[in-house]
């Protein structure tokens, strides 16, 4: 569904540029060219606005801002990564890299990759290639989410976890980006009774730039799942209450929360960490900093995948 939406957006953008040129060129070639340049820079400008808001919010909270040169590098990298993912990989290459369940997967921990908002499994393309090169079993899901409730993803995630456990005989390691971290938490809170201790339920989860306490940028978009991600939403409050219940699956998981001081979507850093608020803290939560990385750019951070591999092969 997301792939078709992104294709439609790409086609609409192209048609708008053609229409603009058809209208503006007879009046002034310079005017036509200026419109084309503005269209090409629109994504960069939108991302730049996010970084400005991030910096302003840090100043309001009296948090030390990252070095401007570091933010500039993160902005440039995020512009490249976002264009590659949203204009090419996710619309057109969703299944270019297949799930990898090798014949010798039994006895080894596999990875289930969970994407974030308005994305699909192709956002993990480079990660999937790296995991395949190391013969690490993995499944990357494309969640049935567009503007739907986060709860809609439970069945897809449950099926992927069971499929991985069936192939390896081990509990899977879940790695989730952005809203994907909330998808994992929501799935775990839906488990009751014997399901809490089932073998397909992960012992460890890595979340990357996940809005555990909400994202301010969720006020800039619509849709039910976006409303659920707003700071202080009733959905987030209920999630925290459910996780605090005795014997919850949430409390059994060891959480690894990866965050960045240059995350242009989930900021400040505390909102991406489960241990930063008593109401939602886990006794088994660790935080890992990726200084200088933007929101999508974090998926390419070597330190992230070093962490993932260390969890697959504990000493």
| Per-residue pLDDT tens digits for 40-52 | 999 999 999 999 9
Same domain assignment for residues 250 and 177: yes
CA dist 6 and 84 (Å) reads 12
Residues 41 and 178 in one domain: no
The per-residue pLDDT for 255 is 97
Average pLDDT rounded to a whole number, residues 242-257: 95
Is the same domain home to 87 and 116? Answer: no
In-domain check, residue 71? yes
Mean pLDDT of 297-311: 98
Indicate if 12 and 120 belong to the same structural domain. Answer: no
288 within domain boundaries: yes
**Which positions ≥6 away from 112 have C-beta within 8 Å?**
138, 139, 140, 141, 157, 160, 161, 164, 172, 173, 174, 175, 202
DSSP of 248-313: -HHHHSEEEEEE-TT-SSS-SGGGG-GGGSGGG--TTEEEEE-TT--TTGGGG-HHHHHHHHHHHS
Confidence tier at 145 by pLDDT (50, 70, 90)? confident
31 and 63 assigned to the same domain: yes
CA distances (Å), 314 to each of 68, 108, 111, 309, in order?
37, 12, 14, 8
174 to each of 42, 140, 229, 253, how far by Cα in Å?
34, 10, 20, 11
pLDDT over 50 at 3, yes or no: yes
Q: Distance between CA 280 and CA 232 in Å, rounded?
A: 12
Confidence of residue 19 (pLDDT cuts 50, 70, 90): very high
- What is the CATH number for 283? 3.40.50.1820
Q: Look at residue 104 and tell me if it is in a domain.
A: no
User: Can you give the pTM of this predicted structure?
Assistant: 0.96
**Mean pLDDT over all residues of the chain?**
95
Q: What is the count of structural domains for the chain? A: 2
Among 154, 3, 156, smallest CA distance to 85 is for: 3
118 and 79: one domain? no
**Mean pLDDT for the stretch of residues 279-307:** 89
Alpha-carbon distance of 253 to 244, in angstroms, equals: 13
Q: Quick one: 18 and 160 in the same domain?
A: no
Residue 61 has phi, psi (to 5 degrees) of -85, 0
Query: What count of other Cβ atoms lies within 10 Å of the Cβ of residue 81?
Result: 21
Q: d(Cα 23, Cα 190) in Å, to the nearest integer?
A: 55
Same-domain check for residues 172 and 78: no
Cα–Cα distance, 138 to 113 (Å, whole number): 7
Domain that holds residue 191: 111-312
Does 106 reside within a domain? no
How many whole angstroms separate alpha carbon 132 and alpha carbon 101? Answer: 9
Q: Mean of the pLDDT values across residues 249-255?
A: 95
pLDDT bin (cut points 50, 70, 90) of residue 265 is very high
- Average pLDDT rounded to a whole number, residues 121-133: 98
Q: Using the predicted structure, report yes or no on whether residue 312 has a pLDDT greater than 70.
A: yes
pLDDT tens across 188-240, in order?
999 999 999 999 999 999 999 999 999 999 999 889 999 999 999 999 999 99
> In terms of Cα–Cα distance, which of 230, 235, 232 is closest to 189?
235
Query: Phi, psi (5° rounding) for residue 121?
Result: -60, -20
| Class of residue 72 by CB neighbours under 10 A (exposed 0-12, middle 13-18, buried 19+) | middle
Share of the chain above pLDDT 90, in %: 92
80 and 171 in a single domain? The answer is no
Tokens of 156: 């897809």
């Amino acid at each position: 569904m997301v792939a078709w939406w992104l294709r439609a957006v790409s086609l609409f953008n192209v048609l708008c540029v053609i229409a603009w040129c058809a209208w503006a060129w007879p009046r002034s070639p310079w005017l036509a060219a200026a419109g084309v340049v503005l269209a090409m820079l629109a994504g960069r400008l939108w991302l730049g606005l996010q970084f400005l808001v991030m910096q302003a919010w840090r100043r309001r909270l009296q948090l030390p801002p990252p070095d401007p040169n570091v933010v500039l590098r993160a902005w440039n990298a995020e512009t490249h990564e976002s264009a590659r993912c949203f204009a090419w990989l996710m619309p057109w290459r969703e299944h270019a890299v297949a799930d990898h369940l090798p014949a010798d997967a039994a006895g080894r921990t596999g990875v289930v990759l969970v994407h974030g908002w308005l994305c699909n499994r192709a956002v993990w393309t480079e990660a999937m290639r790296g995991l395949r090169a190391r013969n690490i079993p993995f499944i990357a899901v494309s969640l049935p989410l567009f503007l739907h409730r986060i709860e809609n993803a439970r069945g897809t995630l449950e099926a992927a976890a069971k499929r991985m456990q069936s192939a390896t005989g081990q509990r899977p390691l879940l790695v989730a980006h952005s809203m994907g971290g909330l998808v994992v938490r929501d799935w775990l809170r839906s488990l009751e009774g014997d399901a809490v201790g089932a073998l397909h339920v992960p012992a460890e989860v890595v979340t990357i730039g996940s809005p555990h306490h909400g994202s301010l940028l969720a006020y800039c978009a619509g849709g039910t799942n976006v409303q659920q991600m707003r700071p202080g939403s009733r959905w987030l409050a209920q999630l925290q209450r459910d996780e605090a219940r005795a014997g919850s699956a949430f409390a059994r998981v060891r959480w690894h929360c990866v965050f960045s001081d240059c995350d242009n979507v989930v900021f400040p850093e505390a909102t991406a960490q489960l241990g930063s608020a008593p109401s939602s803290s886990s006794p088994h939560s660790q935080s890992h900093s990726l200084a200088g990385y933007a929101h999508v750019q974090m998926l390419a951070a070597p330190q992230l995948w070093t962490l993932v591999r260390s969890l697959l092969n504990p000493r």
